[in-house]
Every structure is written in structure tokens, then in C-alpha cells.
Amino acid sequence: MTERALPPPRSPWRDLWQDFTRHRGALLGAIVFTLITLAVFLGPFIWPIDAGFIDPRIRNQGPSWAHPFGTDQLGRDTLARVLSGGRISITVGLTAMALSLGLGTLIGVLAGVIRWLDGPLMRLTDLFLSLPLLPLLLVMVMLFREALSATFGPEAGIFLLIVAAIGLTSWMATARVVRAEVLALKERDFILAARSIGTPNAALVTRHILPNVLSPILVSATLGIANAIITESALSFLGLGFPPDFPTWGRLLNDATIYISDYPERVIWPGVAISLTVLSVNYMGDGLRDALDPRGRR
Amino acid sequence: MLTYALRRLILAIPTLLFIALVIFALLEFAPGDPTAQIPLTVPPEVKAQMREALGLGEPSHIRFGLWLWQFFIIEPLVWIDHALGSTWAEGEARVISWQTRAPVMDTVVERLPQTLWVVGMAYVVGVLIALPIGIYSAYRQYSVFDQMGTFITMVGYSVPPFFSGVVVIMIFAVQLELLPSIYDTTHVVTDWNSLKVQFQQMIMPVMVLALQTTAMISRFMRSAMLEALSQDYVRTARAKGLSEWSVVMVHGLRNSMIPVVTVIALGLPQVFGGAIITEQIFGVNGLGQLLISSIAANDLPMVQTVTFMLAVLIVLFNIIADLLYGALDPRIRYD
């Protein structure tokens, strides 16, 4: 009797990666987002001009080799400002996404695993879903800005405030999806098996449930980044975000709109940066969702 | 159905009370004092009188109760008085703005028509554009039209209104000088010419808001339609020899509209959020602009009331969406 060679076990991550790369838009989105992130974080090494350096001799210049995106009304280099603005915007996006994911996953898992918490936690989620978010965010920023700036310094204070505000108001979708997945998982045999050998609840969650709800969490992660970046930019655009010394993309857009009739091209750079980032993240989310949809698996 | 509707309406009351409490608590426990801007030369007893005049003398729970009473009992009475000429609300204290010293609701009623016009118009336009795009994209899946449509809606979905708004101003107002960049709310429509002006100044805000609506709804329409067209009854309809039109528009569309209608109802409050930014860009003095300016002026009663009204809107449209779901899908029973 000869031993038949079994095909090597297929890792779910390999499958996911293959499906993901088959989705051209998603792959392109991932590449663009990685490039933007790299450019923004490695920006100061490639483009050594300081974002805050004021040179009154070169005010309001158009694009040139020395300043590819031109300069603003104080003679600051627009490329450097867009890069440093992106550093703040993307950091806010990633941090706020992490906070909202953590909160959403925690609430979703708690609601799914512990039966008596399910009702109250889901009512809480419904209540949060019916809050008018943008107005509340504006109010939160208005009320807490000065107190936090005084305690943590102007940049760190606003950063904490905006990340916390966005995170606290955007966890609901994640919580709902995670709860639904956990409830479905609980009926599966492997959970029963794990329970029957006496796995404690905490280990059951970390070892068996969390790895299996990772895929919907990934999808909401991409949506979360897009949402956080847009919200931060909207707040900065309305003048209730970062102070003018810390140019985020929304703030740059806001500053440029004043000069729109004289220097319309200045609006383009931060606007395109926001839109391109959000677009690439959305495409990534689309591809992930398609790749994770069991109906599409071949 | 009626009992379900009633139950939903009654259940909405604790939700709204909770939201009112959250908004109130946020304003109440925030650091910062509304009288902090008053110069130090003002003696403390005058300052105390000013706080009293602003209604800040009472403890928090009394003020919260007072606000609830004023918003839910006095304000409706004022409306009834207006409508019937009665005098029930005469002499009662209403929610007063710190900025204008006038009742908050009067200002809101002044500002509401502008917002409703622009937002409502944008929503109708957006939905009317989105539905055909979604249907045709699904009907010809993976065609050039579908690929283009999917890409354009994705872009529309990703470009925030504060950028698209600035871009349309740049193109149509600055470069082409076709449309006014600022919305003139004092403009009165009297004849054809002024109607044309009104129409021209509405184009850009409506376009910006409609872009978002279109992107969101046509994506939903496409996926719902794809789902419906792959069902067995569609194949049966084709096998019976029905025309393509009635297969798609009757058998496919009617079934796929069920989720789309709820999305349309649920999306409306979100558009009001988008309107805050759009109004700021184009200078429409509607509710959103009122909210921003009262936030800037630290006018807490105004902020509280306007935010709460937006919450009422969200809760209301959630209920409408749920009821529509039941009305459209006979399989859903609420008994």
C-alpha cells in the first residue's frame, strides 16, 4: 500500500490573499494607500524643507522645481505642508480606527458571549446610532478643546480629543457585526468541543472566537479609517479641528478656500490627498469584503 | 401594523429622553464657563445676576427638567396658539437663545425652509439619478457602463463634500463665472427672471449634496438588483416569454426596492449632517449654519435645541424605515 501524498493544507490567509489580489481595484487601493502612508511618514527624509518655514520672498508662487506644489501666502512650501498634514491626518485615522475597532469588538464580543449583557448592550448601540454625530462631535470639540489643550499642550490635546471623539462615536457598526458573528459561531461544534474540555470563557474568546471574527473586523477597519479621516478633515475644515499651526489636510483645504479666486490650484493638493486616501481605503474594503464573502469562494 | 407603529412611537420616547440627557450632560459637565468671556471689571454680584438671567442659577437636574418642559410642552402650545389663535402659552417662558435673546424655536423656524429646500431638492435629485444608474449597472453587470458607474460612484462616495463643494465653486463660479458662489437667502422669487436666479444659485449646493446621495444609493440599488435578478422567479418570468422590460422593471425592481427604500429613508438624516458642511461652503443660512455659528458664539440653549432636533429627525426616519419595510415586504409580519 503506497501512501498518497495529501495536498498541503490550505491556509485561510493564503486564500484570502489570493482572492484579495484577484480584485484589481483592491490591490491598486492597497498599493496607493501604502504609497501615501510611506510618503507621508518618510516625507521629511525625502523632502527636507520644513513645513513651518516662512520665506516672505517666495510668497504665492506657482509650481516650480524648487517647490513642486507652489508656496502659500506666507511663502511656506505646499508640498512639505501637505506631507506633514497627511502625517497628522493618517495618524488620526489609524488611531481613531483602532479605538473604535477595539471598543466595537469588546462590546460585540461581550454582547455575543454573555447572554444577560446582550439586551442592554444592543440597546446602547441603538441609542448611539440615533445620535446626530457630526453636531455632537462639533459640540464636543468646542467644549473640551481649551481644557485639553491646557493640560496636554495644543497638539497632543487636540489629537487626543479628536481621536477619542471619533472613536467613541463610530464603534456601533463593528459591535453589531461582531455580535452577529459571535452568536452564529457559538452554535458551531468546535465551540461546543472546546467548552466540553473545560476551556474557560476568557480562553474560549481569545483562542476560538476572536480569530474567527477577524474577517468582519478587517472590513470595518478599512471603513473606519476612511470615516475617521473624513471626519477629522470635516472638523478641521469647519475650523473646529487642529489649530492653524498644525496643518492637517482639512485645515489646509480650509486655508486655501480663502484664496480660491486668486490661486485655485492651492485647493487641489489637500483635497486630492484626502479623496485619494479615502478612495484607496474604500477600494481595499470592497476587495476585502468580496474576498471574505463565502459565496464567492471557489 | 398599527399596534406595531404605536409601539415603536412609544419606544422612541425613552430613546429621545436618553439623547436629550446625553446632549445636556455633555454641555453641562464640559469644562468652561459660559460667563468666562465677561470682562474682569464686572463685579461678581453683577456676574451672579447675569448667570441668574441666563437661567444658570438652578441646579442641573432642575434645568434639564425645565428644558424638557419648555421643549415638549410649551413649544407645541405656542404652535397651537399660532394655528388656532388661542392663548395657552401666553406668559410661559420659552427656550431662549443667549445670543439673540429671542426664543430659539423662532430662529429655527426662520432657518428651516432654506435647509429643507436645499437638502430636500438634493435628495430628490440624487435618488432620481441613482436609481436608473443602479438598475442599468446591475442589468448589464461587468459592462463598460457598469465599470464606469461603479468607479464614478466610488469616487463620489469618497470625495468629501468640503472638497467637491470647493471644486465646483472653482469650476463654475471662478473659472466659468456661470453661477454665483454664495447663496443669497434674501432673494425673493417674484417672476421668471428671479426664479431663474433662484434656480442658478441652488444648482451648486444641490449638486454637491446630490453627488453623495447618488453614490450611496446607486451602490445599494446595484447590489440589490443583482441579488434579485439572479433569483429563480426572474428565470421563470423570462421562460414565460415576458418582455425584458417587464422582467427587469416589474419582477426584478419591485423586489429589489425593499432594501433600497429603507436605505433611502435612513440616509436622509445623514444628508442633514452633510448639509452642515455644504451650507458653510455656500453660505446658505440654514440650520447647519445656525448650529456652527451658535457653537462659535457659545450659545448653549441654541446648540442643545438644534442638536436635539437633528436627533429627533434620525429617530423619526428610523421608525419610518422600519414601517416601510413591513409595508413593502408582505412576508414581514409585526404581530
Half-sphere exposure (Cβ direction) of B209: Cα atoms closer than 13 Å: 33
Rounded-to-integer distance, Cα A141 and Cα A241, Å: 7
Render pLDDT for B108-156 as a digit per residue (tens, 0 to 9).
888 888 888 888 888 899 999 999 999 999 998 888 998 888 888 888 8
- Chain B interface test: which of A131, A248, A279, A290 (most B C-beta within 10 Å): A131
* Gap between the terminal Cα atoms of chain B: 7
pLDDT of A197 reads: 92
AA letter at B312: V
Closest by alpha carbon to A149, among A140, A136, A160?
A160
Residues of B in contact with A136 (CB under 8 A): 22-23, 26, 307
Interface probe for B, chosen from A32, A141, A143 (most Cβ of B below 10 Å), is A143
> pLDDT at position B285, please?
83
Nearest to B154 by CA among B203, B228, B222, B58: B222
Q: For residue A256, list chain B residues with Cβ-Cβ distance below 8 A.
A: 166
- Average pLDDT (B89-93) is 70
pLDDT exceeds 60 at position B307: yes
| Cβ distance of B158 and A127 shorter than 8 Å | no
In the numeric block, the cell 473640551 is attached to A144
Residue B315: CB partners within 8 Å, gap ≥ 6?
A: A130, B12, B15, B16, B19
The most confident of A166-175, A237-246, B288-297, by mean pLDDT: A166-175
Cα(B315)–Cα(B323) distance, integer angstroms: 13
Percent over 90 (pLDDT), chain B? 5
The set of long-range contacts for A13-21, using a CB threshold of 8 Å and a minimum separation of 24, is A15/A297, A16/A215, A16/A291, A16/A292, A19/A290, A19/A291, A19/A292, A19/A296, A19/A297, A20/A287, A20/A288, A20/A291
The pLDDT confidence band at residue A97, using thresholds 50, 70 and 90, is very high
**A39 burial via Cβ count (<10 Å: 0-12, 13-18, 19+):** middle
Smallest CA–CA distance, residue A186 to chain B, in Å, is 27
Mean pLDDT is highest, among A236-245, B88-97, B151-160, for: B151-160
For residue B272, which of B229, B230, B228, B213 has the smallest C-alpha distance? Answer: B213
Q: In the block, which residue shows the cell 409580519?
A: B333
Q: How confident is the model at residue A245 (pLDDT cuts 50, 70, 90)?
A: confident
CB spacing of A267 vs B292 below 8 angstroms: no
What type of residue sits at position B213? Answer: T
What's the mean pLDDT when you consider all of chain B?
Answer: 82
Q: Which of B32, B174, B315 sits opposite A143 (nearest CB)?
A: B32
Do the chains contact at B26 and A134, CB–CB below 8 Å? no
Banded model confidence at residue A294, pLDDT cuts 50, 70, 90: low
Write out chain A residues lying below 8 Å of B22, CB-based: 131, 136
Mean residue pLDDT across chain A: 83
Task: Show the DSSP H helices in B102-252 as ranges.
Answer: 104-139, 144-158, 161-168, 192-229, 232-239, 244-246
Of B157, B160, B166, the CB nearest to A234: B160
Could you tell me the sign of the dihedral formed by the alpha carbons of A165, A169, A170, A172, in that order? positive
* Least confident interval from A28-32, B138-142, B177-181, B246-250: B177-181
pLDDT of A131 above 50: yes
Closest chain B C-alpha to A1 CA, distance in angstroms: 48
Query: Per-residue pLDDT averaged across A117-131, rounded?
Result: 87
Mean pLDDT of B284-290: 85
Interface test with A, best of B17, B158, B317 (most A CBs within 10 A): B158
**Alpha-carbon gap, residue B181 to B172, rounded angstroms:** 8
CB B71 within 8 A of CB B63: no
pLDDT of B283 reads: 83
Backbone angles phi, psi at A52, to 5 degrees: -100, 5
* B105, pLDDT greater than 70: yes
pLDDT tens sequence across B152-177? 888 888 888 888 888 888 888 877 87
ipTM above 0.85, yes or no: no
Query: What is the pLDDT at residue A298?
Result: 40
Chain A contact present for B316, CB below 8 A: no
pLDDT at B31: 63
Flag if A275 and B32 touch (Cβ within 8 Å): no
Contact A135 B281 (CB under 8 A): no
- Interface test with chain A among B33, B151, B154, B163, by most A beta carbons within 10 Å: B163
Residue in B159, B281, B314 closest to A275 by CB = B159
- Say how far apart CA A90 and CA A98 lie, in whole Å: 12
3-state secondary structure of B72: helix
Contacts of B30 in chain A (CB under 8 A): 143-144, 147
pLDDT score, position B335? 58
**Which residue segments constitute the domains of chain A, with CATH numbers given?**
78-292 (1.10.3720.10)
Distance CA A56, CA A288 (A): 48
- Residues A142, B295: C-beta atoms closer than 8 Å: yes
Report pLDDT digits (tens) over B187-224: 777 788 888 888 888 888 888 888 888 888 998 899 88
Mapping DSSP to helix (H, G, I), strand (E, B) and coil, where does residue A246 land?
A: coil
Instruction: Check CB contact under 8 Å for B295 and A147.
Output: no
Above 90 in pLDDT, residue A98?
A: yes
- Residue linked to cell 498599493: A31
pLDDT interval class at A127 (50, 70, 90): confident
Which residue, chain included where needed, has cell 473659472?
B175
Is there a contact between B15 and A131 if contact means CB atoms under 8 Å apart?
no
For residue A297, name the pLDDT band (cuts at 50, 70, 90): very low
Substitution target from B162, B272, B281 for chain A, most A beta carbons within 10 A: B162
Among A158-162, A259-263, B73-77, B298-302, the range with the most confident prediction by mean pLDDT is A158-162
**C-alpha cell of B16?**
429621545
Q: Is residue B269 predicted with pLDDT exceeding 80?
A: no
- Decide if A238 and B280 are in contact by the 8 Å CB cutoff: yes
Cell representation of residue A275: 479623496
Q: Residue written as cell 492637517?
A: A248
Q: Which residue has the higher pLDDT, B266 or A66?
A: B266
pLDDT, mean of residues A194-219? 87
Assign A276 a pLDDT band (cuts: 50, 70, 90).
Answer: very high
Closest chain A residue by Cα to residue B269? A132
Tens digit of pLDDT for each residue in B14-69? 888 888 888 888 887 766 566 666 677 777 777 777 777 666 767 777 888 888 88
| Cross-chain Cβ contact B32/A230 below 8 Å | no
Q: Is pLDDT above 90 for A102?
A: yes
CA distance to partner chain B, nearest, from residue A132 (Å)? 5
Structural element, H or E, at residue A297: none
pLDDT of residue B103: 82
Nearest CA in chain A to B14: A127
Of the pLDDT bands very low, low, confident and very high (cuts 50, 70, 90), residue B239 is: very high
Cβ-based neighbour number of residue A57 at 10 Å: 7
Q: Which among A136, A237, A260 is the nearest to B277, CB-wise?
A: A237
What does B287-321 look like in DSSP terms, one character per residue? HHHHHHHHHHTT-HHHHHHHHHHHHHHHHHHHHHH
**What pLDDT is recorded for position B130?**
92
pLDDT confidence of residue B38: 67
pLDDT value of residue B34: 63
Q: Percent of chain B beyond pLDDT 70?
A: 93
